[in-house]
Every structure is written in C-alpha cells, then in structure tokens.
Amino acid sequence: MNKTVSLDQLPPQIETLLRTIWEGNESLVLEQDGKPVAAVVPMAEYRRWHPTEDENTFSYELPADLLEAYHALLDKKFSSGLTPQEENELTQLSQQLDDADAVQPLVQSIQSRAAAQDKKWMQTLEEVITKLRELRESM
C-alpha cells in the first residue's frame, strides 16, 4: 500500500532536501544502523515500477530544455554564484517550470473526461450493434 504525505506536513529542512532531490532528478536512500531501509525516488522512476492501469494515461514530463537550463543555473548558483541577470533568468525559468507543472492536473482532468466519454460512446455503439443484429435476425 502506498502512502501520500503533503510537503506542508514536513519540517522545512526535509522539504528543502526533497526539493533538491526531485529538482536534481536524484534518489535518496534512507538508512538505519548503516543498512538501507527505504528510498525516495523521482516520480518518473516510481511510475515505471508502478504503471497506471490505464495505458492511455497521459505521461507528463516538464520540458527538458527548461529543466536543463534551470539546473545549470542552480548548479552555478551554489558553486560560484550568479550575476543579477542570471538570477533573473533563474527566476523566470522557475516560473515557467511552475506554470508547466500547473498544467498537469488540467490535462489529466481533460484526459479523464475524454476517456469517460469514449467509454460512453463505446457502450452506445455496442447497444446499436446489438439492436442491428436483433433486427437482422428477425428478418
């Protein structure tokens, strides 16, 4: 069974650590007495291990070019610092990634409604085919 925890429920230090992990597309191994007991992995890897039941589900990933530029500036920020122009660019990239990420629930909602409509149309089509067969048999 999988558990879900909101980042709002975690101490700020853990939230910061987790953000660093997922923004860097890294994994975090948790140990007890020097032995690995659990791991925090990027969502893409988790989804490979636990594919959704609906194979038609939209697989959403943030734009790779934005992520690459964002991570390059983030790395530079922590290693040697950024110029004011680079700080501005990092802020803009962060906003673009947030905007792109915000679209995901909308896309999933639209996809879910489309799948429900497809199912409804298929049921109607099956009913029509059944009626047509009945009519053909009665002739």
Segment 7-29, tens digit of pLDDT: 667 777 787 788 777 777 788 88
CA–CA dist 85, 62 (Å, integer) = 24
Amino acid at 35: K
Question: Could you tell me the pTM of the whole model?
Answer: 0.37
Q: Which CATH architecture has domain 60-139?
A: Up-down Bundle (1.20)
If you average pLDDT over every residue of the chain, what do you get? 79
User: Per residue in 72-104, pLDDT tens?
Assistant: 888 888 889 889 999 999 899 888 888 777 777
Domain ranges of the chain: 1-51, 60-139
